[in-house]
Amino acid sequence: MRITMVGTGYVGLVSGACFADFGHQVTCVDKNAEKIAALKRGEIPIFEPDLDRLVEVNTRAGRLSFTTDLADPVSHSDAVFIAVGTPSRRGDGHADLSYVYAAAREIAASLRDFTVVITKSTVPVGTGDEVERIIREANRDADVVVASNPEFLREGAAIRDFKHPDRIVVGTDDEQARKTITEIYRPLYLNQAPLMFTGRRTAELIKYAANAFLATKITFINEIADLAEKVGADVQEVARGIGLDNRIGTKFLHAGPGFGGSCFPKDTRALIKTAQDYEAPIRIVEAVLAVNENRKRAMARKVASILGGSLRGKTVALLGLTFKPNTDDMRESPSIPLVTALQDLGATIRAYDPEGIEQARSELTDVTYCDGPYSCAEGADALVIVTEWEQFRALDLEGLKQKMAYPAIVDLRNIYRPSDVVAHGFKYESVGRPTPSAS
């Protein structure tokens, strides 16, 4: 199949590379000439495990190409995917659909034979209707069907998620479009990936509902963690105890500093705004977003507590800045409000992240960036584990203690056993777990 992918951001680049790896002929289009030139040189603008190899292999094989010219590839394509950004709109929290609509207008001018235009960007309910209206108004002769195919990729595991999906949701009632999209995803049949066809508006809502539900699970277990700390319970055992119930499941029940990233915050905001517009407010999701925002800054109080309540003149070392491991994405990361809150309380910040430092520089000021966890801990009064990178799971605790001015660790991801850390002479705080006294 001949595919055009409009947008070379996270979703567009991963999807385009994976489709090419299936054997399709894929052209990725972006207006950013510098980004396209870099991609042609094999330089990947984001960190995603194995993506560089996938792009290199398929570019060399001639199945994947990059261009700033949208007209030519669209005119020869069986399917055109819209995978541009839909950030939160300034001022009101609605999804900014200007990039989607601009792409639709450009696509319309270049359509020739029958083409399926597929929205892969995360968009509110009804966006597909507007995309279709724009295309038909701009090109009344176009033989086109507009469909929805939301993505369900986890940063850090996106290629595996794309090739081994839980489900592939497609919103269209058109039989010819169904056949085209079925052929596009045919290589996944051996993985028995369920292809779910539904109405276009239903597909759009499925994406938002999925992200809102997962965000709700995270916020729920975080609030249970707060209660567990007060009553002397262990939130990890609580999570396991409820997660073994297959009606609940074990995933997204890991207590921590709150959710961040490119999806959950903006998608919950957009869903809330859509629900308000339709006079069907979703109070649960409203509460989830509010609790999560408050939680991020509240983590600073946990750090202050381990140092006697005051951070004035203290040095705090942060391990991990990205919102999750195996990505360089700093968007809405819990580290951002945490750092600003710590600074507001008078702390000096040192920080290290395996992949996110360059992105962090544009988000966080007055931070000393270090080249490793041990240099980061040098002279620190407290060490805070913010992101659960694998590199942080087996640190030399004795070595850390010797580097630090005061032996205090705040583990916001619960990656260490409290008894192990305390046995090395540290004061230790985690999330929702009791800390044993030093013997």
Condensed to tens digits (0 to 9), the pLDDT of residues 342-388 reads: 999 999 999 999 999 999 999 999 999 999 999 999 999 999 999 99
Percent of the chain with pLDDT strictly greater than 90: 96
- pTM, two decimals, is 0.93
Domain 208-289 matching CATH 3.20.20.70: the answer reads: no
Confidence of residue 189 (pLDDT cuts 50, 70, 90): confident
Q: What is the mean pLDDT of residues 273-280?
A: 96
Question: What's the number of CA atoms in the CB half-sphere (13 Å) around residue 150?
Answer: 31
414: left (phi over 0), alpha (psi -120 to 50) or beta: left
- By CB atoms closer than 10 A (0-12, 13-18, 19+), residue 223 is middle
CATH number of 2-198: 3.40.50.720
Among residues 294, 300, 221, 213, the alpha carbon closest in space to that of 256 is found at 221
Tell me if 433 sits within 8 A of 416, measured CB to CB.
Answer: no
What's the CATH superfamily of 294-429?
NAD(P)-binding Rossmann-like Domain (3.40.50.720)
pLDDT at 436: 79
pLDDT at 439 exceeding the cut of 60:
no
pLDDT at 237 exceeding the cut of 60:
yes
Indicate the DSSP class of residue 260. -
Helix (H) or strand (E) holding 383: strand 382-385
pLDDT at 213 exceeding the cut of 70:
yes
Domain 2-198 matches domain 208-289 at the CATH topology level: no
Q: What is the mean pLDDT of residues 318-327?
A: 97
Distance CA 50, CA 53 (A): 5
pLDDT at 191: 65
Confidence of residue 90 (pLDDT cuts 50, 70, 90): confident
Q: What is the mean pLDDT of residues 34-46?
A: 95
- The per-residue pLDDT for range 392-430, each reduced to its tens digit, is 999 999 999 999 999 999 999 999 999 999 999 999 999
Distance CA 81, CA 71 (A): 14
What are the boundaries of each domain within the chain? 2-198, 208-289, 294-429
More confident residue, 297 or 432: 432
Task: Tell me the β-bridge partners of 25.
Answer: 2
Confidence of residue 262 (pLDDT cuts 50, 70, 90): confident
What is the average pLDDT value for the chain, to the nearest integer?
95
Tell me if 67 sits within 8 A of 36, measured CB to CB.
Answer: yes
Among residues 268, 272, 264, 269, the alpha carbon closest in space to that of 332 is found at 264
Instruction: List the catalytic residues.
Output: 263
How far apart, in Å, do the first and last CA atoms of the chain sit?
67
Distance CA 296, CA 172 (A): 39
pLDDT at 348: 98
CB atoms within 10 A of CB 85: 18
Q: Provide the 3-class DSSP secondary structure of residue 90.
A: coil
Q: What is the mean pLDDT of residues 159-176?
A: 96
Confidence of residue 92 (pLDDT cuts 50, 70, 90): confident
| Tokens found for residue 393 | 């799971």
Confidence of residue 89 (pLDDT cuts 50, 70, 90): confident
pLDDT at 91: 76
pLDDT at 194: 86
Distance CA 303, CA 308 (A): 9
pLDDT at 438 exceeding the cut of 70:
no
Among residues 309, 291, 320, the alpha carbon closest in space to that of 227 is found at 291
Tell me if 357 sits within 8 A of 323, measured CB to CB.
Answer: no
pLDDT at 79 exceeding the cut of 90:
yes
